[in-house]
Amino acid sequence: MRDQFDYIIVGAGSSGAVIASRLSEDPNVSVLLLEAGPTDTDSKISIPAAFSQLFKSPFDWNYETTPQPGLDGRTVYWPRGKVLGGSSSLNAMMWVPGFAADYENWGKLAGPEWDWDELAPILDTTEISVETQRDPRPLTTTFLTAITEAGHSIEEANSVQPKGFTQTQVTQYNGARHNTSQAYLKPAKRRPNLIVRTEALVEKVLFDEHTATGVSYLVDGARFETHARREIVLSAGAVNTPQLLMLSGIGDPALLGAHGIPVRVDAPEVGKNMRDHLVSLSCLEVDGGTLKDATKLRNVFTYLTRRKGMLTSNVAEAYGFVRTEDSLDLPDVEIIFAPVAYVQEGLNGIPGHGISMGPILLQPQSRGSITLVSADPGEKVIIDAGYLSDPEGADRATMLRALRMTHDIISTPAIAAVTNGRYLAPLGAESLPLEERLTATLEKTSHTLYHPTSTARMGTDESSVVDPMLRVRGVNRLRVADASVMPEIIRGHTHAPSVIIGEKAARLLQM
């Protein structure tokens, strides 16, 4: 099948759904949105506390990193959304846009159109519903009490320079998840100029010399082509976007040549510069009152009839920003709390009643990479996250300092009153001397916070993959708009800035 549209958007996630919706507001243009996964109608997507049940499901790309030497040689599971809404359909619904200073840094690296003054007004115009939690657990109040006992402050969420702790603001509407599919595609679905095709795996971008003309994609094993009169936008995320660029001949010539892919653009930074937030959680046993009971019949009934109760929880109900050294101008760590034993990300069930808390490394010095396995678009890429791999050991040192701060919170009277001192993760850690306990927590429990970025870096320099207008260098009529273009990872969570990138991309395309 061959057909033609003005714009083709690849990926219906936190950025792609936004772009497709905004462009199709103009009835004079036609837009095709291609998504590799299915629709987002499954009830587990809409029920907030059920998000970990989506892991390793048909809605998940189900990636795994290479063994990570810094994490005791463990591989780390990476869930990524393969569904309308992308990872906004799988995430913990935390709306944490980050610090104004991080966007000021974007402006330095990618031009003034990406600084805080330019992006802050866009943040105020998104269609995402952001709400306070409807029914947080009493244990979350206990945690915030412990925070004050440990000498930290409590503040309202999402100031331009956060410096304390708060309950999480969540992307929900009436107690249900509000992903970009619900926020942007649902209102646009009746527009005749927007076509959404699901379960369509894009193989590569098609070119006429150095001008992008279309894409080829697979549906149930059948191959199709579609062509763009104006532009093509890759919004497939920090893993799949660099994969598509490389499959299309844009990347490191040596790596492309190893897989028999003709080189169209010599772009060695494609798939490089990957950064991710690493989180390390301590889980302590408590008597009850946790989300382990969320699926009990009375809680299901409360949710279905009143949209209240445990099932409205986003799990990560509180967090805060801290500096692990007084000399720092801005926080280098976020400490997160969940009123549940979030052991192994819930993949093997919840081992008992517990609470989880621990640090997130906000500005990692370590770098990872995305690399092709073959020229087959159906094969998963190699993900080397590079956790704690920086030569100076700064990331490891920061996390150990942050784990000591977490231990101070665990040692407060408020937490001591609700725990019995036994660790569910690392299991049996209460028997270890403190330094060994911190090291075991870092090496044995750390995993991704699901925020990979920067694998198709945007910049003003010629070595960047895309320019400040999001145009892929070396070709025409091809742009990238998703977390892969972030010049640097932010001190926050990547959903909000990915939505901002989508909004900004739509404006750039309409110029």
- The CATH fold of domain 139-167+278-363+388-445: Cholesterol Oxidase; domain 2 (3.30.410)
- Pairwise CA distance, residues 426 & 436, whole Å: 11
Of 152, 277, 447, 493, catalytic: 493
Is residue 451 flagged as an active site residue?
Answer: yes
Over pLDDT 90: what percentage of the chain?
Answer: 100
pLDDT tens for 122-161 read: 999 999 999 999 999 999 999 999 999 999 999 999 999 9
CATH superfamily of 1-51+80-133+176-273+451-511: FAD/NAD(P)-binding domain (3.50.50.60)
pLDDT of residue 117: 97
1 has pLDDT over 90: no
Q: What are the boundaries of each domain within the chain?
A: 1-51+80-133+176-273+451-511, 139-167+278-363+388-445
Q: How far apart are the first and last CA of the chain?
A: 31
Of 178, 277, 451, 495, catalytic: 451
- The response to whether 83 counts as a known ligand-binding position is yes
- The response to whether 202 counts as a known ligand-binding position is yes
**Tokens representing residue 388 in the block:** 């704690």
pLDDT of residue 2: 56
pLDDT tens for 440-468 read: 999 999 999 999 999 999 999 999 999 99
| Dihedral, 278, 114, 250, 21 alpha carbons, nearest 10 | 90
Nearest to 167 by CA among 328, 283, 312, 277: 312
Cα angle 130, 135, 136; round to 5: 90
**Are 31 and 193 within 8 A, CB to CB?**
yes
Q: For the chain, what is the mean pLDDT?
A: 97
Is residue 259 flagged as an active site residue?
Answer: no
Could you tell me which residues are beta bridge partners of residue 458?
466
Question: pTM higher than 0.85, yes or no?
Answer: yes
Over pLDDT 70: what percentage of the chain?
Answer: 100
pLDDT tens for 229-278 read: 999 999 999 999 999 999 999 999 999 999 999 999 999 999 999 999 99
pLDDT of residue 273: 98
